Amino acid sequence: MNHGADAVTQKAAAISSIASKTTWFGAGGTIFAGITLHELGILAGIVIALSGFVVNWVYKHKALKLKRLGMTRITRMILTLFKEIK
């Protein structure tokens, strides 16, 4: 068994992983530093608006589904009442 080669391979993989993370961190820092406060406010507004749109869309569909279920139950109740009256 060649434990020395395995240790070198593991060390190289660890260094490669650290280098990759450092690169991504540097890229993120560069992007963040390049954004002014005005641009950050615009981006925050866009994110808030989109999330509000998604939340409204989800709950409107849930409300519509509940309304449809309620209408079918009411319709069945009315039909059974009319059948009993006849």
User: CA angle 31-33-43, nearest 5°?
Assistant: 65
pTM of the model: 0.45
C-beta separation of 43 from 35 below 8 A = yes
Instruction: Report d(CA 36, CA 69) in Å as an integer.
Output: 50
- pLDDT for 19 equals 81
What mean pLDDT is predicted for residues 66-75?
A: 74
pLDDT digits (tens, 9 = 90+) for 19-65: 888 888 888 877 777 777 788 788 889 989 999 999 888 888 888 88
The domain segmentation of the chain, as residue ranges, is: 1-34, 36-86
